[in-house]
Amino acid sequence: MQIGTAIDRFVGAALAPEEWPQALDAVAEALGASGATLVLGQSRETSVAVSQSIAPIVRDYFERREVGDSRETRVNPRLADGFRFDLDDFTPQEIARDPYYQEFLAAYGYGYHAVAQLAAGSDPLLLSLKRPANRGHYDGHELAALQRALPHLRLAARAATAAWRASFTGQLEAFARIGWGAVLIDRQGRVVGLNSAVGLGDAVDVIGGELTALLSSDRAALGQAVHAAIGSDGGNGATAGTVPIRRVGNRQPVIAEVLPIAGARRSLLSPAVAIVLLRDLERCAVPPADLLRRTFGLTPREVELALQLARGATLQEAAEVLSISREHARQRIRVVFAKTGTARQSDLVALLAKLA
């Protein structure tokens, strides 16, 4: 398989993680390997994507392996290193007596690898190419081919991360337009983005990089909901953790809905894996003025009056804001009632809330 095709499949899998096994098989084939893993940070089942060809070996690695992985602690490639292979980190004598090589890998006919860092960070992203023991170590010619492909793989990783970021930007803006605060959370539970509708310092704040409730009585519940969301893969069975967050004083709470982002955790390239949606019960939801005009045929002044009432103003207060008399306001509201099919102010406010 051509490396360009394999890289296209790599980017696609980063956005649709269920395609990782086939995509990593394609990468392995294009780079002369028999299998591949993509690892974010430390090797854990939730932070590893695996090609189909070596899935049984990796499953046994996590479930039945009885010897330590000497590569886990010794092999630590940096961006400046390019691909590293076994003899960069071990002598032949060490490999010959190492239990991980001679007992675990040998049992499956595997022995050698080449590994490179695709993206840096607190949890670096590593691509590891696997090959059977009977093919021997990677030689100079093979490593040169891997080094030529590496910039394209790193570019693919950056492109996939950028695509996730772009989708998150659109989501944050969409929630802001309807008045909902939205906070993006990464794998470590840190805030990595929020929108303009989040009111920090009221019910919630960001302290030490983490979203926290200001009142200690709600802090643990919010933390538990966030922890559960970042540990979920966001599949069809994922549910929201709903946490009422109280304010200081006799005021309505903010309702936090904590959700895993579908596919984000398994992607390994998404900068966020969960989102916290904040609904302020004190916020008066009002529909766009143009929507009222087009839906009910209201005039601009009738729209202004209806929106004032939707925001909680009395008829007298609305008249003062619009610089009209109370009687004039009463006449106009009768027309608004007729056009909207409502009979009283409470009915009108309830109708407008449905459109907000």
What's the pLDDT tens digit per position in 130-182?
999 998 888 888 899 999 999 999 999 999 999 999 999 999 998 887 778 99
- Looking at residue 202, its amino acid is D
Sign of CA dihedral 187, 193, 198, 204: positive
Which of 280, 299, 318 lies at the terminal end of a domain, its last residue?
280
Question: Which pTM value belongs to this model?
Answer: 0.77
Look at residue 167 and tell me if it is in a domain: no
223 in the same domain as 144:
no
230 in the same domain as 134:
no
Which of 161, 186, 214 lies at the terminal end of a domain, its last residue?
161
Sign of CA dihedral 26, 28, 33, 36: negative
128 in the same domain as 104:
yes
Q: What b/e readout covers 173-204, taking b as 16+ CB neighbours within 10 angstroms? A: eebbeeebbbbbbbbebbbbbbbebbbeebbb
Look at residue 122 and tell me if it is in a domain: yes
Question: What span, in angstroms and rounded, lies between the C-alpha atoms of 321 and 310?
Answer: 14
Which of 161, 186, 205 lies at the terminal end of a domain, its last residue?
161
Domain of 97, CATH number, reads 3.30.450.40
Range of lowest pLDDT (68-72, 283-287, 305-309): 283-287
Pairing of strands 110-119, 84-85: antiparallel
pLDDT tens digits, 97-121: 999 999 999 999 999 999 999 999 8
In three-state secondary structure terms, 36 is strand
Question: What span, in angstroms and rounded, lies between the C-alpha atoms of 9 and 11?
Answer: 5
129 in the same domain as 274:
no
Q: Tell me which of 208 and 175 has the higher pLDDT.
A: 208
Question: What span, in angstroms and rounded, lies between the C-alpha atoms of 10 and 235?
Answer: 21
- List C-alpha distances in Å: 162 to 31, 126, 233, 269, 355: 25, 18, 20, 9, 34
Number of domains observed in the structure of the chain? 3
129 in the same domain as 78:
yes
Q: Which domain, by its residues, includes 52?
A: 3-161
